[in-house]
Chains A and B, each alone.
Chain A
């Protein structure tokens, strides 16, 4: 028993030290990111700044899908709906003299409520049926963009009232807010992923039958995932409106739903970095192939096929996949070791 205890002890200590190193490393990375983010508008041209801003915004919307699709395993196709409500809704309130930040937060809270209302019935559906139901919701919202002319400007669209913050030029300000929102959302999602919410959502996804025997309600957790996703979609939409400067229904069309899905699946559907890498890949290719509309689609299609075939975990899984490949032998030795420790512990 003693030798076993010692093993556990030393393992725990080594974990705390490596954890401390990791915390230091994360803080260093955040500081570095902060410096780069602040400096960026001084070195990048307008177009480049727009591209990185768009990447940050898409990443936030896709982080919502990481939670809803990746963790809880629901085929949710409603994200453009919340994205659009974030953009139109915030703009409407802001145009009516509600402070911009408050507008964004009020609309996000509204989307949480809407996520609850849509999520309650949707949580009873699975796979294909859930996909259709959530798609119907997104289509409904699409109708609203077209028909609620006083609010949305209908098919003609509406100009966005641009927010100014401390006299910073709007494009730089938007970049700062977008990168801030991305880092904040990523940290929150990461925290969720490592604690109760993350565990319970994965249980709903992988052990649906067993979850109820644990006293966990699948329906309740699915709705929570849906609401988190809706809030992130809405917040991203609030910023996207500022980036577009003009809102029209085409910006939130059916294509965008598919594009979001492509992003998360290419990047890696249940990882935070997956959403960010996927969004970067998507926005960069889209901008690079702007003038080759058709080839854009071909590149996305082919990439998606390759990823699904060779990297089911998405681009983000390249590192672990490679690591597993190279460490194969060492891993086999390592997995033998604990058995020895246990056998020793049991003998004593």
Chain B
């Protein structure tokens, strides 16, 4: 099995102070979208934290291209090509959209360390153009010089996705990117993401908007109480009685179904 998928999560166990949050979780992701769904508190964000190196699991392995990455640091996982967003966006409110997006480039491996360090105008200008282009793709081209704190939560989430893409990752983890977005914002977000997925980027997406998940993901995994209770194509999985039951137990999702 090893080496056949870009991301292989095997037997992950996590507990916080004796409370089991993840139990023997397995998951694979390859290029294109993979959905991760489940009711509130199921452990989705925790699983993202394990994959991205923020939480060390009690047991289990995370393989990226066959290389074990669990238990290293979030920094080294990021540097090995994993980008992520957070459930509540973590941007620098006092900085402009463009500068926030630039941070995605700033964290890449640097080609000309000295020129980059002193912020040589030529290089800086070229990279700014790249960041602007990315923001324009997401429909934010008119707001490049606005400070992020003046944006709606929805736009902030989109900026965070753009920033993560600018890192040029192999694997992108999106934690509820569409939560709190207007219908038009969801479209502005989904279209460019789909292009990246088609071009071969692996995107693992946690999302409560099941319509969006059904549309984007050929494959979903359902978590409940820290266990994988189902996986497969979204249309089949969401028909399964145990999945429906899990969701019925969760009011926010039951109303959205």
Would you call B233 an interface residue if the criterion is a C-beta within 8 Å of the partner chain's C-beta atoms?
Answer: no
Give B125 Cβ to nearest chain A Cβ, in Å.
Answer: 11
> Does B141 lie within 8 Å of A8, measured CB to CB?
yes
Tell me whether A196 and B119 are in contact (CB under 8 A).
Answer: yes
CA distance A217 to B106 in the complex (A): 11
A293 at the interface (CB under 8 A from B): no
- Rounded to whole angstroms, the CA-CA distance of A214 and B139 in the bound complex is 23
Would you call the interface of chain A mostly helix, strand, loop, or mixed? Answer: helix
Q: Is A308 an interface residue (CB 8 A)?
A: no
Assembly CA distance A202 to B149 (angstroms): 14
Mask for A226-255, Cβ within 8 A of B = 1, else 0? 000000000000000000000000000000
For the A-B complex with A4-B139, A342-B140 known, give 13 more contacts whose Cβ atoms are closer than 8 Å: A192-B119, A196-B106, A196-B119, A196-B124, A199-B95, A203-B103, A209-B90, A213-B84, A214-B103, A217-B75, A335-B150, A338-B142, A346-B139
Cβ–Cβ < 8 Å partners of A207 in chain B: 90-92
Name A residues whose Cβ lies closer than 8 Å to a Cβ of B.
Answer: 4-5, 7-8, 11, 15, 191-192, 194-197, 199-200, 202-203, 206-207, 209-210, 212-217, 335, 338, 341-343, 345-346
A196 to B150, CA, bound (A): 23
Contacts of A213 in B (CB 8 A): 52, 54, 74, 78, 83-84, 86
A191 proximity list for chain B (CB < 8 A): 118-119
Are the CB atoms of A7 and B92 closer together than 8 Å? no
Q: CA A194 – CA B120 in complex, angstroms? A: 11
User: B62 → chain A, closest Cβ, in Å?
Assistant: 15
Residues of B whose CB lies within 8 Å of any CB of A are: 52-54, 73-75, 78-79, 83-84, 86, 90-95, 99, 102-104, 106-109, 116-119, 124, 136, 139-146, 150, 163, 167, 184, 187-188
Known: A196-B117, A215-B75. A343 touches B142 (CB 8 A): no
Indicate the member of B53, B78, B140, B187 with the most A CB atoms within 10 Å: B78
Query: Between A and B, how many residue pairs show CB distances below 8 Å?
Result: 98
Q: Hey, which chain A residues are within 8 Å of B54, CB to CB?
A: 209, 213
CB contacts (< 8 Å) of A202 on chain B: these are 92, 94-95
Q: Residues of A contacting B136 with CB < 8 Å?
A: 8
Decide yes or no: A215 and B95 within 8 Å by CB, A196-B119, A338-B146, A346-B139 being known contacts.
no
Chain A min CB distance to B88 (Å): 10
B90 and A210 form a contact (CB under 8 A): yes
CA distance A7 to B167 in the complex (A): 27
- Top-9 shortest CB links A-B: A195-B119, A215-B107, A210-B90, A214-B107, A212-B75, A212-B74, A215-B78, A8-B141, A207-B90
B225 to chain A, nearest CB (A): 26
A199–B107 CB distance below 8 A? no
B145 A197 Cβ-Cβ under 8 A: no
A226 to chain B, nearest CB (A): 15
Can you give 15 A-B contacts (C-beta < 8 A)?
A4-B141, A5-B141, A195-B124, A196-B116, A197-B117, A199-B92, A199-B99, A200-B106, A210-B86, A213-B52, A214-B78, A214-B167, A215-B78, A335-B150, A342-B142
* A15, A192, A197, A215: residue with the most chain B Cβ atoms closer than 10 Å: A215
In the bound complex, residues from chain B placing their C-beta under 8 Å from that of A7 are 142
Q: A11 with B124: in contact, given A194-B119, A213-B83, A216-B107 (CB under 8 Å)? A: no
Query: Which of B91, B103, B108 contacts A200, CB < 8 Å?
Result: B103
Q: Given A214-B78, A343-B184, are A8 and B142 neighbors across the interface (CB < 8 Å)? A: yes
Residues of the A chain whose Cβ atoms lie less than 8 Å from the Cβ of B107: 214-216
Q: What is the bound-complex CA distance between A338 and B136, given in angstroms?
A: 13
The residues of B that contact A197 with a CB separation of less than 8 Å are 117, 119
Give bound CA distance, A314 to B79, whole Å: 38
In the complex, what's the smallest C-beta–C-beta distance from B98 to chain A, in angstroms? 10
CA distance A202 to B83 in the complex (A): 20
- Closest B residue, CB atoms, query A9: B141
Shortest CB distance B146–A (Å)? 7
Minimum CB–CB distance for A196 against chain B, Å: 5
CB <8 Å contact, B139 and A345 = yes
Looking at the assembled complex, report how far the CB atom of A132 sits from the nearest CB atom of chain B, in whole angstroms. 26
State A215–B116 Cα separation when bound (angstroms).
15
What is the distance, in angstroms, from B126's C-beta to the closest C-beta of chain A?
13
In the complex, what distance in Å separates the CA atom of A304 from the CA atom of B95? 26
Q: Which residues of A contact B75 (CB under 8 A)?
A: 212, 215-217
What's the Cα separation between A63 and B86 when bound, in Å?
34
